[in-house]
Structure 1
Amino acid sequence: MDKAYSKNDLMKLAIEEHLKCSEYPRVGALVTKGGKVLSTGYRGEVSGVHAERVALEKLCHAERLGSTIYTTLEPCVKLHHDQSIESCAELIISSGATEVVIGVLDPNGTIYSQGFRKLLENNISVSFFSRKLREAVEEETFEFGDIHRVYSSGKRRVPVVHSGIDIYVQFSESDIRTIPISWKTLQYSHGCVDLSSNSGAVTVAAGTTNLSDITDTAVFRFPSHVARMKKGMIAIVRPSGASFCVLIKLHEIFENDILFQWEVRNCT
């Protein structure tokens, strides 16, 4: 590991580490100094240990001082007050590292931008992978790839923070017909979140419990541009002129995230 690499090459080496992961989210990390790789790590290399910790724990304190850490995913923050193991952000701060280069921010709404901010608040210099490499990381890090596009049918947990999240529902991977939806204004304390799409595209399927209860999407009335959804509610999204519709059920609401189910159907 004596060779000195360019910053771009170090980003690629971190991606090589995260591709070794057999579980999601994939994360790879390097500890470097002067362009030289001191240690590597990936999530799953040591059971239950995050990639940054794997790489850092291969080194003594003197080796960590003044290092630059490359990690494909934003370092985690403490999620519980009684958490016994320090977060990766805290570990990096105490390690003596002076710079962190991040692939992508964690879409988990509880972590999103918090690890980034914590590093900055503790005088750690933070930069990011190049746009092209960020896109590569995004596609390979999470089990479902791009969190902004879904296909056919399924379930997904997504963050709804600040201005919300826009998602494109594509009929199938081979059929590019697409309907946009947006989750916004998550009010965890009130147990609701807003679902919207194109103007007049959203209809609440009142009285239904399961997507299979809906045999004819056209029977439900009072379309609107937004539906305030609570756990268990189902809505139908069909923009004017669309040849298919999307059925959406809200399964769970968390403090910064939601879990929803979707299913596409051709319109008759």
Structure 2
Amino acid sequence: MARFSNKVAIITGSSNGIGRATAIILAKDGAKVTITGRNAERLEETKQQIIAAGIGSENINVIVGDITTTEIQDKIINSTIEKFGKINILVNNAGAPFMDSVGTLGFSQDISIYDSTFELNLRSIVILTQKARPYLEATKGEIINVSSITSGPQAHSGIPFYSMSKAALDQFTRNIAIELIPFGVRVNCVNPGLVVTGFPQAMGTPLEASKTIYDFMGSNRDCIPIGKTADPSDIGNIIAFLADRSQSFYIVGQTIQADGGTTLIMAMNTHNLMELLK
């Protein structure tokens, strides 16, 4: 029997990248899935990839729209219950950095960028989790939040509002993990490093330039010690592990760093100091 047979999962931000990979992995392992995103065409691509993996369309619920709106938040929850009758797994993956019209980075961004960033990366997650909570308590379900290594103690001066929102998401994970575990609901968080997704394009980087970044970072072990930029499925498999209570039941309220070793590196340690002494 597939490990997620008779389970129902909601995966937000599943029109590409980590969300798409996670939806495919969970569906292939038996879950009925609700996939969501703002781009109808890309969300349809996700659906077709799930179907191509041998999953019937009756096991897929598609919701197109902006997850920061009350209408779409309610539609995600209500349509899942109407179609599948329950919720076992909530993957809060939707999130992104924001640029202004002239591509400003850093603290010089208008405060409206701060508001948009926190609305998507934190507020929408808090609200959707609140709305899913009674159904997750009924099934003793799982919540997996997708954060970022930018939430850590290292500075990310180019995207301060994004990294601040992800740091808040990590703390949200810890707080609600303790509140919900007495009700049988486990909450954990995955903090990816660099992943081959549409992240650079969201910040205005052309596709070819994005590939250059991925290739450079992946081939430099002072950036990614494992020697490879992650594929979305690398992160999706970790999310699936955390969603599988039979394998990860004793992990509660943790933030799993999935970055190929990036956050263990200090720039000064990437140079051979002994060479300097010769």
Which TM class, normalised by the smaller chain length?
0.3 to 0.5
Query: 1 or 2 for the larger relative contact order (CA 8 Å, sep ≥6)?
Result: 2
Which protein has the larger Cα radius of gyration, Structure 1 or Structure 2?
1
Larger strand percent: 1
